[in-house]
Structure 1
Amino acid sequence: MASDKKIILITGGNTGLGYEAVKALYQTDIPYEIIIGCRTVSKGETAIEALKKETPQSPSSLSTLPVDLNSDESLEKAVETLTAKYGRLDVLINNGGGSFDTEIAEGRMSLREGFNATWDTNVTGTHVLTTLSVPLLLKSSDPRLMFITSGTSSMTESESVANANLLRINASPAAGWPKEAFKLALTGYRSAKTGLNMLMREWARILKNDGVKVWAISPGFLATGLTGAGADRLRQMGALEPYIGGQFIRDVVQGTRDHDSGKIIRRNMIQPY
């Protein structure tokens, strides 16, 4: 069934930053078909109920789609569903991801298990879904492809301790082995998001002559549940409210950063590689 509304798929859209991006889009006057990609459909439906309570009237439509970034079968079925129902995709927001460094540090995953899970979820699964979705994006009159990255992924800034946040993630521990585990170890997550940045650059290159606008979006230090540290603790460390990141993603969907296509973007600047 064709739709006059722009069709947007956002993975991991039922919680955290993804939920805030869905909400920001749903609260605008522009009509969208917003599809919440989630591993558990019931969680997506719960998110939709909450969104409709917060915003009783909207020109946009909300629906869920099973999307498991760790399963090729799930991703293939998701794209088959989109193809049959809409025949195109205007915006793919690759927001789904995860951090497993805490699982490693606390012994719930081995180092190999945690690293593999981090890369499989953040990079490999995202690459598979994007590859499968390209034919649908190319049927859009204004195709947009977004990868949600992290401010911690900048290799240039990994040498800096110029502010409290950079000091927290870049300071070196005392000499000796074993090292005392950092309370917010991010080694796997940072590595994967840096890999995701290169994945974005590759897709920007591959799709340049097809008119697809591509970005890696660095939403800032937000008080989400991603690190497992808890939102309140993150706020104490200077984290911003997640809705700020959601509104940033909405703005990119609506064209405010078209001139920065192919870049890693923050709200007020280009993020250094």
Structure 2
Amino acid sequence: MASVIPPVVLITGANQGLGFAIAEVFSQSQHPYTILVGARDQARGDEAVRKLLRTKTNDKTAISTIHIDVASSESITGALSKISTDYDRLDILVNNAGIFGALGKMWNSTTRPDWRAIFEVNVFGAIELVETAFPLLLKSSSPRVIVVTSNMGSISKVADGHVPCGSVGAYYSSSKAAINAMVANWSQTQKEIKFWATCPGLVATEFGGDFTKQNGRDPKEAADIVRKCAEDEKNDVVGRMIWDQDGKSGVYEW
């Protein structure tokens, strides 16, 4: 009898930062998974996998690298084609890859090319990946899409004065507002799939440079909200933008 492949999880941007922490949380769950560490750089992805294999706690969990750059349509198609060939389904898509600003201009991305660079990853790439993955997700018995977002993309919160990075964060905030709108749309138009937009809060990673490294919270703690979505602990807030921190949880308005 052929062995049953544990749920297949693709995590983009998983070779470092929050994405790595998400992969680590899945690898240490009591439930087994087939974890695909999405990485733009194959070597860095392979190194992340080696680290995860040393610390995983579930013997039935498998971990491997998959090359994917969400800013490239060709890369997205290639990655999903490999998943189709190897597993013939995708159970959980964690759309984590994102940038705060254009390359080399993290806190000063103000030109049209800068905007385009941010939106290519945070919006266009995210949308293309999710929608191209629909056929594979629909082969799953319990398909889920978890988009890592930010409450900086909540128009309601911004209108109430939530602008922690001031005007320099407007470009990132706008990109997250755009992908939040897509999550809201997908949750209404793709009823066979469960969607969440998850806000991890400020996380101690390289994402925002020294500011996030010095002021953020433990990445694994922030990553656990993604696992909760995957393991039926957040079914009461499907289709919403959610948060979970300091023993409390809730929903942010769009």
Report SS of the residue matched to 1:156: helix
Larger relative contact order, structure 1 or 2 (CA cutoff 8 Å, min sep 6):
1
Residues 25 and 227, structure 2, Cα contact 8 Å, conserved in 1: yes
Correspondence list, 1:214-253, <5 A: 214-233=195-214, 235=215, 239-253=216-230
Per-residue CA shift, 1:215-266, capped at 9, x if unaligned?
A: 1111112122112235443x2xxx2111111111111111111121111111
Residue 94 (structure 2) aligns with? 93
Secondary structure in 1 matching 2:165 = helix
- Opposite residue 186 of structure 2, the aligned amino acid is W
Judged with a 3 Å threshold, the aligned counterparts in structure 2 of structure 1 residues 259 and 89 are, in CA distance, closer, same or farther, namely same
Counterparts of 2:250 and 2:80, CA distance in 1? 33
Question: Structure 1 residues 122 and 168, CA, compared in 2 at 3 Å: closer, same or farther?
Answer: closer
Q: 1:114 to 1:58 in 2, by over 3 A?
A: farther
Q: How does 1:15-26 map to 2 (within 5 A)?
A: 15-26=16-27
Aligned pairs for 1:164-243 (under 5 A) are 166=162, 168-169=164-165, 185-208=168-191, 211-233=192-214, 235=215, 239-243=216-220
Change in Cα spacing, 1:219 to 1:8, as seen in structure 2 (3 Å) is same
Q: Secondary structure at the match of 2:70?
A: coil
TM-score (norm 1): 0.85
Unpaired segments ≥5 residues, structure 2: none
Distance 1:75 1:2 in 2: 28
Normalising by structure 2, we get a TM-score of: 0.91
Identity of aligned residues (%): 27
Q: Which of structures 1 and 2 has the bigger CA Rg?
A: 1
Tell me how many residue pairs correspond in the alignment: 249
Query: Distance between the aligned counterparts of 1:74 and 1:35, measured in 2?
Result: 15
Task: Report how far residue 212 of structure 1 moved.
Answer: 0.8
Q: For residue 71 of structure 2, give the secondary structure of its aligned residue in structure 1.
A: coil
Change in Cα spacing, 1:56 to 1:202, as seen in structure 2 (3 Å) is: closer
Hey, what's the Cα distance between the residues in 1 that align with 2:117 and 2:32?
36
Residues 102 and 117 in structure 2, CA contact (< 8 A), matched pair in contact too: no
Query: In the TM superposition, what is the alpha-carbon distance from 1:51 to its structure 2 partner?
Result: 1.6
* Gap runs ≥5 in structure 1: 171-181
Matched AA of 1:27:
Q
Q: 1:100 to 1:232 in 2, by over 3 A?
A: closer
Q: Which amino acid aligns with 1:250?
A: R
C-alpha deviation, 1:198, in angstroms: 0.4
- Partner SS state of residue 186, structure 1: helix
